[in-house]
Amino acid sequence: MRKILIVFGIVILAFGCTQSGIDNPEISIEELNEHISFLASDSLKGRKPGTPEGRIAAEYIGDQFQAFGYEEITEDGYQYFDVITQVVAGENNSLLTDEFSGTMDEDFRPFNFSSNSSVEAEVIFCGFGFDINKNGISWFDYKDIDVNGKWVMILRADPELDNDESKFIPYAKDRDKVLTAKDKGAAGVLFVSGVEYDKKDELAKLELDQLGTNSGVPAFHITRSFANKILKKSGKKIEDLEAYLIKEKNPVSFNCGVTVKGTSEIEYKKVKTQNVIGFLEGGDPVLKDQIVVIGGHYDHLGFGGPNSGSRVPDEHGIHYGADDNASGIASVVEIAERLAANKRSLKRSVIVMAFAAEELGLLGSKYFTDNPPVDMKKIVAMINIDMVGRLKDSNEIMVGGTGTSLQGEELLNVLVEGKDLKLAMSPNGFGPSDHASFYVEDIPVFFFSTGAHEDYHTPQDVIAKINFEGLKELDNFIYELSYNLINRDSALTFQEAGPMQQTGVRRRSGVTLGFMPSFTNTGNKGLGVDGVTPGKPACLGGIKKGDIITAIEGKSISNIYDYMARMSKLDFGQTITVDVIREGEKQVFLIQLEDK
């Protein structure tokens, strides 16, 4: 397929024609089929970021944009960036006492947030590792015991495992407990699962974390049998300690009288991947300064496997991603072609895009909005096309983000009139795909999808199940919307529709500062602020976009996890101090939290 294009390019050059890689400017089933056949073929092996096949997919799309006459506004029309695809334990992990040397993966395993360092120190058992005086709980595992420079050994989870409403839940995360231990001066943390929490006593898996941030101290998960070896001198056992803590709800802490030597080594495997970007300048002398972005993601899950996002992680097989999201890319390409063919009638400028690494957490679109090749203020609307190949008999299309502009819903209603399509609109701008990255930048978004299905994120998401008639109809509709957004007299008016971040991950106290955290890595030196919400505590207190938050109430913050942990312990109406670094200078702000 790529070969054909190259030959075609030469023919065009030979005839001196400027504007045509375009044979059939209409959105056609043959061409849609051609694109999906290539992208969802065996030879592209599931388009995993960082693989040669991922790159071939990107170049296929880039070649199309170029052939249609789109300009390059980045290096060769691509935007390269690193993503973390794997977190693995290094060669040098060790954990031992004078009498016993643990075996990696059998007796212990570091957590993904463990720092790469060594500690040799005594071990203090510290119950659940709590330090809580709130919501009617007082539980102090660190009371009357000095853990400074020592290992602390703590139980995972909390003492109310049967209670889904337990007040302990906000304090029960491993990572939050490490932060508490660090606050108390601990040099490292050894976690152990009680019998009630995990009868099988499986070691926690190394989870993938895109931020690659660590907690600043080594943190291991050890088995009960290893823990009991450390406890031997004290005459106690984890099983009994757990039972006592659950029954009596009374902290127990003591020095185990044993020295443990440990080294932790975590490696984040990075690969390079690339967004694909094409630019078409508008013809109106004024409006060409405004840009409409039309995009979708081209990456998928490769061969699947654990931690890949596959819903059948035990099945090793090509995850074709014909619907997710070869269908969306075929749409972007065909719409791009039709727009280019009508270039003379376009007033605003257009960016067509294929995002990389969406499946790893919207990384390509976030990278684009964090490192925009154009002034973000020029982008007046964004259309995201993700999974559009399975239009059902009901002809129902899901459109997200319809509330992110004053005019969105009405515009769609007008455009759909007389068509055989039904629109299921949802106003929220945040969602599980790339438009979310634009919505949080105050850009009106439209998210098109024909919805999830049983083959979603499995090897059964194949081209044979694509509804091409439906896809063509939908793409013509999206083209009409694009054309309207590009040519309408005044741009859409942005309005907030729903939260600007993922909510409901874990029950929290509900206290917020009202800002967008930056996902740019600060190298564990704080949490960046990407924008503040007018009228909310951060804004009222003087926090600004570009600040890096380093502490709350004098307690250090290295990354977003620390931030969430610190916030969960605050109360409504409280006045807090927030330390930030602004232009290299440390500043402290007094911030009044909202009342409930």
Q: Give least dist CB 359 to Zn ion, A.
A: 5
Q: Give least dist CB 530 to Zn ion, A.
A: 24
Q: Give least dist CB 370 to Zn ion, A.
A: 21
Name which of 363 and 560 has its Cβ closer to Zn ion: 363
Q: Give least dist CB 433 to Zn ion, A.
A: 8
Backbone angles phi, psi at 87, to 5 degrees: -120, 120
- Distant-in-sequence, close-in-space partners of 493: CB < 8 Å, separation ≥ 6: 405, 406, 407, 444
Name which of 227 and 329 has its Cβ closer to Zn ion: 329
Q: Give least dist CB 363 to Zn ion, A.
A: 13
Pairwise CA distance, residues 595 & 559, whole Å: 26
Name which of 180 and 458 has its Cβ closer to Zn ion: 458
CA angle, residues 480, 429, 277, in degrees to nearest 5? 60
Name which of 313 and 373 has its Cβ closer to Zn ion: 313
Name which of 265 and 324 has its Cβ closer to Zn ion: 324
Pairwise CA distance, residues 77 & 519, whole Å: 24
Pairwise CA distance, residues 500 & 379, whole Å: 18
Q: Give least dist CB 453 to Zn ion, A.
A: 12
Name which of 63 and 324 has its Cβ closer to Zn ion: 324
Q: Give least dist CB 295 to Zn ion, A.
A: 15
Q: Give least dist CB 96 to Zn ion, A.
A: 43
Name which of 83 and 532 has its Cβ closer to Zn ion: 83
Q: Give least dist CB 53 to Zn ion, A.
A: 17
Q: Give least dist CB 424 to Zn ion, A.
A: 19
Q: How far is CA 419 from CA 46, 254, 367, 384, 451, in A?
A: 34, 73, 37, 21, 20
Q: Give least dist CB 493 to Zn ion, A.
A: 31
- Distant-in-sequence, close-in-space partners of 423: CB < 8 Å, separation ≥ 6: 396, 397, 399, 412, 413, 416
Q: 52: phi > 0 → left, psi -120 to 50 → alpha, else beta; which?
A: alpha
Name which of 53 and 242 has its Cβ closer to Zn ion: 53
Q: Is the Cα torsion angle 43, 45, 49, 52 positive or negative in sign? A: negative
Q: Give least dist CB 324 to Zn ion, A.
A: 4
Name which of 175 and 457 has its Cβ closer to Zn ion: 457
- Distant-in-sequence, close-in-space partners of 502: CB < 8 Å, separation ≥ 6: 430
Name which of 169 and 462 has its Cβ closer to Zn ion: 462
Instruction: Return the residue matching tokens 């101290």.
Output: 217
- Distant-in-sequence, close-in-space partners of 490: CB < 8 Å, separation ≥ 6: none
The helix or strand, by DSSP H or E, that contains position 78, with its residue range, turns out to be: strand 78-89
Name which of 79 and 310 has its Cβ closer to Zn ion: 310
Pairwise CA distance, residues 240 & 475, whole Å: 64
Pairwise CA distance, residues 64 & 22, whole Å: 9
Pairwise CA distance, residues 470 & 390, whole Å: 8
Per-residue burial over 211-233, b if 16 or more Cβ lie within 10 Å, else e, is bbbbbbbbbbbbbbebbbbbbee
Q: What is the number of the residue whose Cβ is closest to Zn ion? A: 324
Name which of 338 and 457 has its Cβ closer to Zn ion: 457
Q: Give least dist CB 522 to Zn ion, A.
A: 28
The helix or strand, by DSSP H or E, that contains position 480, with its residue range, turns out to be: helix 468-487
End-to-end CA distance of the chain: 60
Q: Does residue 261 contact residue 96 with C-beta atoms inside 8 Å?
A: yes
Per CB under 5 A, residues contacting Zn ion are 324
Per-residue burial over 440-469, b if 16 or more Cβ lie within 10 Å, else e, is bbbbbbbbbbbeebebebbbbbbbeebbbe
In this structure, what token pair is assigned to residue 229? 């070896």
Q: How far is CA 399 from CA 147, 481, 496, in A?
A: 54, 12, 16
Q: Which amino acid is located at 266 in the chain?
A: I
Name which of 201 and 324 has its Cβ closer to Zn ion: 324
Q: What residue ranges in 188-339 does DSSP mark as E strands?
A: 188-192, 219-222, 253-263, 266-280, 291-297
